[in-house]
Amino acid sequence: MANETAISRTYNLLSSTTAPSQTKKVWDVISTNVPTIHHLFDESPFEIPAGDQARFTVFKELITGTGAGPTQSVPATYIQPLTVGEYAFKFLYIAAYLPKQDLILNYSAGENKLVDYLAASMEAMVNSMWMLLAGSVRGIWTANSNDETEATKITGIPSIVKSIGNATGTTGRISRTNAFWQNATTTTNITSFATNGLARYREALMNAKRGTRFPDWGVTNTTGFLNYLATYTATMQLNNPIQGDRFDVGVPDVRLHGLTMFSDANAPANETRFIWSDALKLMLLQGGYMAFSPPMERSGFDDIEIRLRFTGNLFCPDVASHAVVVGSDNA
């Protein structure tokens, strides 16, 4: 039998003669709040057909213009204004062994079956995959050293919107030595959020603005978000009407210059990132980005192995439309 968490019980007359009542609902008490991955799924991820990568084209330079009089020639030059980038699919797995004896006994339990063992196991694997995708080990918050060669990790947000090495390495196979392929930053870091935190936020947003393109959401860790709330609300006046016997002093939707701000415990410490959602998407394998493989019997063991596979990556065709601010943990 599978290992279980033991429950100690002292049996008396009541417990020996009365069966306990147990709900058939399984409560998820282990998964944590992971708003960034859910936000990315809400922001219209795009599914692409099978292939080893998603390719995109960007303008990489402007063409020098000139003025000319009626008798002057207009110089021309050969141009190469375009370049191509690409992001490869990454593969993540959750695998588990399920004892056949447990499956048989649960399947044949009839009315005594409280929870379907196989279905609950598969749901636990899906929950675990969400946590893996949302995390900083192999998921969207991974700080990759090289996003093209690390096939077992998502190209993480810290690898796209860099706080260190903004002009080094590659992202989407385009060199970050190119000024057009570097995210926005600030001239100085936040030394004290109460003193210059909001000023650095505004500077980063202005540096990331490109025409009509402007970051529309921001994310930081819990400490940075609390510092932002404390500073933001310190000089804010709320004129909320009293409803009945209640007075709500909370702020249900926190925004900065129109963009939504939220916290994610997986986000790097002491850093805040501002994202333009049109240029940061989840790319997913069309028709099967999260799929279970057929159960496999394990040779020499009375169990089966089931695997859950995720096929996808983050996709960013415009690095410069995002920004990062360092020092947001400093109150």
Q: Answer for the pair 181, 190: CB distance below 8 angstroms, yes or no.
A: no
Please list the ranges in the chain whose pLDDT falls under 50: none
pLDDT for res 245: 67
pLDDT for res 95: 97
Render pLDDT for 8-55 as a digit per residue (tens, 0 to 9).
666 677 777 776 777 777 877 777 788 999 999 988 788 887 776 889
Where are the strands (E) in the chain, listed by range? 46-48, 53-59, 82-88, 90-99, 170-171, 174-175, 217-220, 255-256, 259-263, 271-275, 281-285, 290-292, 296-297, 303-315, 323-326
Question: Could you tell me the pTM of the whole model?
Answer: 0.86
Render pLDDT for 64-79 as a digit per residue (tens, 0 to 9).
899 999 999 998 989 9
Q: Please return the burial class of 42, using the count of CB atoms within 10 Å of its CB with bins 0-12, 13-18 and 19+.
A: exposed
pLDDT for res 91: 93
pLDDT for res 34: 87
Q: Which two tokens stand for residue 300?
A: 């020499």
Looking at the domain 33-61+78-242+250-326, which fold is it? phage-related protein like fold (3.90.1690)
Q: Which two tokens stand for residue 46?
A: 């795009």
Virtual CA dihedral for 184, 187, 192, 193, nearest 10 degrees?
-30
Q: Any idea where the domains of the chain sit in the sequence?
A: 33-61+78-242+250-326
